[in-house]
Amino acid sequence: MPPRRSARPHMPGYGILPADGGSGLLPWFWAERRLADSHEYWVATVRPDGRPHLMPVWGVWLREALWFSSSVQSRKYRNLAAGPACTVATDDAHHPVVLDGTAGVVTEAPAIADFLAALNEKYATAYAADFLDPAVNATFRVVPDSVFALSDEDFTGTPTRWTF
């Protein structure tokens, strides 16, 4: 699902240029490439007491969403089970892409198999299907509500927010 709209985010005090200034708004493919190429992703969730929880994960950009797995015993899983809203960031602080979205647990075997194949290819691993046994490790799919990105080569002229 391509974004419905791209715009310059509101960033008072940073000297951010209008959408047609600097390098202009970043194209969606710029963000998608970084979502696909990131080696690690930082997943932010909220604990039951309201404190933030941030953890690195391996993941893949697949079918217009960010996919990752997590032990069903982990704090991350328990946080997402209680509240599926989360934020995911790529690993490059010079060209960050930050996705706000909703995480859902995937239980369909063909979809899990597709994720596992993409994960094995990306990370040169050979995890077997039992690695993503839903009783042990949940597969999450984060569908974006909005995505923010910028390039530090033109900090004031590239900030872009896409909404879906």
Quick check: 104 and 84 in contact, CB under 8 A?
yes
pTM: 0.95
Q: Is the pLDDT of residue 2 over 90?
A: no
pLDDT digits (tens, 9 = 90+) for 86-118: 999 999 999 999 999 999 999 999 999 999 999
6-14, Cβ contacts within 8 angstroms, sequence gap of 24 or more: 6/160, 6/161, 6/162, 7/160, 7/161, 7/163, 8/159, 8/160, 8/161, 9/148, 9/159, 9/160, 9/161, 11/159, 14/155, 14/156
pLDDT score, position 3: 75
The Cα 103–Cα 142 span in angstroms is 4
